[in-house]
Structure 1
Amino acid sequence: MKADPSMINHIMMNWLQSRAQISPHHPAIIQAGDIVTYQQLYTRSMDYAARLPVQPGARVALLMSNSVDYVALIHALMMCGAVIVPINTRLTHAEVQFQVIQTRCTMLIYDDTPPPVDIPCYTVHDLQTLPADNHALLPRPLDMDAPFAIVHTSGTSGKPKGAILTYSNVFYSAIASAFHIGHLPDDVWLCVLPLYHVGGLSILIRACLYGITVNLHPRFELHAVAQCLQQERVTLVSLVPTMLYRLLDFTPWNPALRLVLLGGAAASSELITQCHALNIPIATTYGLTEAASQVATSSPASTKP
């Protein structure tokens, strides 16, 4: 039976499965000094996927702080064909309930206090006690036209809206980012942005597709991030201007850093001048949730006060 020609370019092998086959021993995640390789991340994600009580197309809310388990669950939900709905951990219970209802989630995974929502809720520990029944069916190939995630906007013009991002959206966004800012096999991308934000989530997708490492922090904690930039080998970091302002008091940084990707708000000429004086390579970027993060990005050479 011949394949439908219209479908040939719309199905892809699972990205983490492919990455684990190509570079199994390469570090995928570094957190608090612990290193998780791509093979280890794949094994952990497969274990979660086999235990998750979800069907393809189900929408699953994630109410968690940045962690290796959060990353593994994102990949596990992709393996199951479920849709990821990352929820801002700073929301009130009423706001969480609104977003869960708005996006028609059928399950929620949390790591702190369960919100009052009328759907099944699980912790990571709860999931680990469920039977692993689905190994034979996993991981599912990726339908590039299917929803990957529903990510909420910041709500600057009203209530946050859920933006549906397909696999194609995030894939081509990652390719465009690499085309514009380049990538090296030994890149390490420092992620201090929350994974419920498109800026943080996109770093994970880029890293998996490029085969590079993410140095993942639970949150932006000034002294921990400053110490990382000074003492650890980081080549890329995504920041917002208020973060960068505060971090400039803790320079110089490790010379391995090749780019600060600065977005989320307009950067002042004063901030850019300070970065130039300190020889910090900086590229300003504009993005939006609905476009899977980066839309327009300057080069370091063209970023001027």
Structure 2
Amino acid sequence: MKMIRKVMAKQLLIGEALKSAAHNVPDKEAFVFEDQRLTYQELLKRTLHLSEWLQGRGIGKDEKVGCLFKNGLPFVELYFGVSLAGGVFVPVNFRLVSNEVDYILNHSDVKILFIEEEFIETIRDVVEKLTQIQTIVIVGSPDKDLGKDVISYHSIYDTPTINKSREQLSDDDAHAIIYTSGTTGRPKGAVLTHKNLYMNGMNKLYHSQTKKGSKHLLIPPLFHVAALSLLVQNCLLEGTMFIHREFQPVKVLKTLHLEKINSMFLVPSMWNFLFQVPNLLEYNLSSMTSCSTGGAICPVEIKKKIMTVFKNAKIHEAFGQTEMSPSTTYLSGEDSLRYNKTASVGKPSINVRVRIVDDEMKDVPLGEVGEIVYQGPTMMKEYYKNIEATKEAFKGGWFHSGDLVRMDEDGYIYVVDRKKDMIISGGENIYPKELEEVLYSHPDILEAAVIGVPDVEWGESVKVCIVLKPGKQLTKDQVIKFCQSRIASYKKPRFVQFMDSLPRNASGKVLKTVLRSYGHETNFIN
């Protein structure tokens, strides 16, 4: 047993990061949510109990545990509890509709599912299809009519457990599967290892230069890897993380003011909404030393506003993707403005190797456009149960991002386009192909194409271009309601354009560059 502990301590394991913080600063507050405040010692005690309970239910190495949670302490406890048990954590986007949740839970082989009470109906709609799930744990009042072994989350801590010997883990073992939508219409599960997320946390600390013991406010949903990775970073910092269930601008400002928060990460649209609060400058924001943004390119005007409002804080902008755990480049806001690099996403992270290549994997000349590819300890292990997609992603031994970029003479990287036409709206990734397949299922729609259009508040919004079948009629509202009933609400279109035909090239491929050039025309319904 002592030998196993010694081996574990040498590995970059997520559970070991929590244990280290609990050893060094046991009585320091680790995570705060509403009126609940957990010290590192208390958190470790609860997560060890949860991990023992999970092991007693058969969860060990490579066994999957899913959750459908909003932000809160149960999310934090489960994340570390699964890690300490040696299992694989599968967080599910709570904004997805039942059939989307069904696919992810079945594809990932989840055995035990944790959900909040408000998502019972989402699961009820597909529970008969969830044949691999043995137990459903509910935060709130259990619903015994789900047809599974259903228990209360809080009852776990009243249940005696046995301290079992855990199977030896390596930091190259799977730690989490994060699902990211693909252009085929089915999401792909990026398998991230312990080392992936541990090293990403180390990279962030290096670039942000955040002080040990700092206070951080976390607001974006934890099912996103960008927010999830901050849980590890907090342990490495031995800091205190305040968690909000959802984004409420006034509540954010009150927390910054009352708790004297030092750092905060928001997507650009959240920063924008924060600055719309009328009495913004009445709050004391002097404790803030670091303002971070990512998920979408941050407009220069928002960067300037951050620097004006948070006078003692530095700006840090990150770029990346789920498969890289996620950050690959970092841009200092000060450098951005001082050296006129406002359109850049910065320079490569300290532990991420970057190349910009053509279709033959040859490096393109400086200043020319190519695909950015990566190597490094934050690179995912594979796409779960998707050998072909994994081979394609790692072609030539590098991870292919699908992003087209260029690099200037100073080493700063600029995103030119996305090979896969991904839309980023309010920090959420939306893939056109998925929505196009929904539209093609409508009996009155002949053709459909989905693009992103600029949006001041959200960065981008979804526009659908539709060709109706002869003699058929639809309204914008009918199209939106149809989409909303089949996919998550944040993926639905905001704009609908009805057309006689879609522009295509000689091979029949839809020319989305032409569609984007149309802009706001008279037949552009908004």
If the length of structure 1 is used for normalisation, what is the TM-score? 0.90
Residue in 2 aligned with 1:18? 20
CA contact (8 A) 1:148 1:167 kept: yes
Residue in 2 aligned with 1:273? 304
Which stretches in structure 2 are left out of the alignment for 5+ residues? Answer: 140-150, 343-526
- The 1:271/1:129 distance shift into structure 2, 3 A limit, reads closer
**After the TM superposition, which parts of structure 1 deviate over 6 Å for at least 4 consecutive aligned residues?**
none
- Indicate which of 140, 143, 147 corresponds to 2:170: 143
Which stretches in structure 1 are left out of the alignment for 5+ residues? Answer: none
Residue in 1 aligned with 2:316? 283
CA contact (8 A) 2:12 2:198 kept: no
Give the alignment's Cα RMSD to 1 decimal.
2.4
CA contact (8 A) 2:180 2:188 kept: yes
Q: Secondary structure at the match of 1:173?
A: helix
Question: Deviations for 1:222-253, whole angstroms, at most 9, x for unmatched residues?
Answer: 22112222332111111101100011134335
Residue in 2 aligned with 1:256? 287
TM alignment of 1:137-286, pairs within 5 A: 137=165, 142-153=169-180, 155=182, 158-250=185-277, 251-252=280-281, 253-278=284-309, 279=311, 281-286=314-319
2:172 maps to a residue whose letter is D
Q: Structure 2: how far apart are the matches of 1:51 and 1:7?
A: 20
Question: Deviations for 1:206-228, whole angstroms, at most 9, x for unmatched residues?
Answer: 11122111111111122211222
Residue in 1 aligned with 2:106? 101
Between structures 1 and 2, the one with greater helix share:
1
Q: Secondary structure at the match of 1:267?
A: coil
Residue in 2 aligned with 1:35? 37
1:137 maps to a residue whose letter is S
After TM superposition, give the deviation of residue 21 of structure 1 in Å. Answer: 1.2
Q: Secondary structure at the match of 2:38?
A: strand
Q: Percent identity?
A: 25
Q: Secondary structure at the match of 1:218?
A: coil
The answer to whether the aligner puts 1:298 opposite 2:334 as a matched pair is no
Structure 1 range deviating more: 263-272 or 71-80? 263-272
- Indicate which of 74, 81, 87 corresponds to 2:79: 74
Q: Structure 2: how far apart are the matches of 1:25 and 1:175?
A: 23
Question: Deviations for 1:171-196, whole angstroms, at most 9, x for unmatched residues?
Answer: 11111111111121231111001111
Q: Secondary structure at the match of 2:285?
A: coil
CA contact (8 A) 2:263 2:289 kept: yes
Q: Structure 2: how far apart are the matches of 1:7 and 1:137?
A: 12
- The 1:256/1:154 distance shift into structure 2, 3 A limit, reads farther
- Larger C-alpha radius of gyration, 1 or 2? 2
Q: Structure 1: how far apart are the matches of 2:21 and 2:169?
A: 14
- The 1:87/1:216 distance shift into structure 2, 3 A limit, reads same
CA contact (8 A) 2:64 2:108 kept: yes
Q: Structure 2: how far apart are the matches of 1:81 and 1:182?
A: 31
2:59 maps to a residue whose letter is Q
After TM superposition, give the deviation of residue 141 of structure 1 in Å. Answer: 6.1
Q: Structure 2: how far apart are the matches of 1:212 and 1:226?
A: 20
Q: Which has the higher contact order (CA 8 A, sep 6+)?
A: 1
Structure 1 range deviating more: 49-58 or 125-134? 125-134
Residue in 2 aligned with 1:121? 136
- The 1:8/1:207 distance shift into structure 2, 3 A limit, reads closer
Q: Secondary structure at the match of 1:143?
A: coil
- The 1:147/1:273 distance shift into structure 2, 3 A limit, reads same
